[in-house]
Amino acid sequence: MDPLKSISAIAASGMHAQGVRLKVTAENVANAGSTGNTPGEDPYRRKMVSFSEMVDRANGNSMVEVGAIDRDDSAFPVKYDPVHPAADERGYVRTSNVSSIIEMNNMREASRSYEANINMFDAGRRMRRQMLDLLK
């Protein structure tokens, strides 16, 4: 396959992966305050994405692939709120294990990486145009 064409496909796979990461981050942020409704119920558990390298067998391009979306197994923080419906007998409520600082970081990094992939896409397009301009 023409390398200049491959660039678009590779950059697109990178953009897709970063898009999924941003989506998962948005889910985490949106659910940062989600608790259970009854004392025994678990609050929202933070989601995590993992990336891996995926070699396209048809042309040998190494793309990026989003693996399974895992849950963060760390312990839930607790806060004291006796009137909450999910409070246990001592008055503590378990809250989701989403850390807003980590999510903010993730968001920034995902959008920066997305931008880097767009730039590669653009660079490939420019090169192709220069090549096609030779036919004029």
Partner 1 sequence: MIHIHSNLEKTLNMDSLSFFNLASKRMAWLAETQRVVAENVANADTPGFKARTTEGFDKMLSDGAQAHLKVSHPGHIAGTQTTTVGVEEDANAWSTSPNGNTVALEQQTIKANEINENYQLAASLYRKGHELVRLAATGVR
Q: By the criterion CB under 8 A, which residues form the site for partner 1? A: 2-4, 6-7, 10-11, 13-14, 17-18, 21, 50-53, 61-64, 109, 112-113, 116-117, 119-120, 123-124, 126-127, 130-131, 133-134
In 25-91, beta strands by DSSP E? 47-48, 51-55, 62-66, 70-71, 78-80
- Provide the CA 16 distance to its chain's centre, in angstroms: 10
64 vs 78 by CB, closer to partner 1? 64
Q: How near is the Cβ of 46 to partner 1 at its closest, in Å?
A: 18
Q: How near is the Cβ of 45 to partner 1 at its closest, in Å?
A: 22
84 vs 128 by CB, closer to partner 1? 128
Contacts of 30 (CB under 8 A, 6+ apart): none
d(CA 36, CA 96): 9
3 vs 77 by CB, closer to partner 1? 3
Q: Take residue 41 and report the two structure tokens written for it.
A: 């119920």
50 vs 100 by CB, closer to partner 1? 50
Total residue count of the chain as it appears in this document: 136
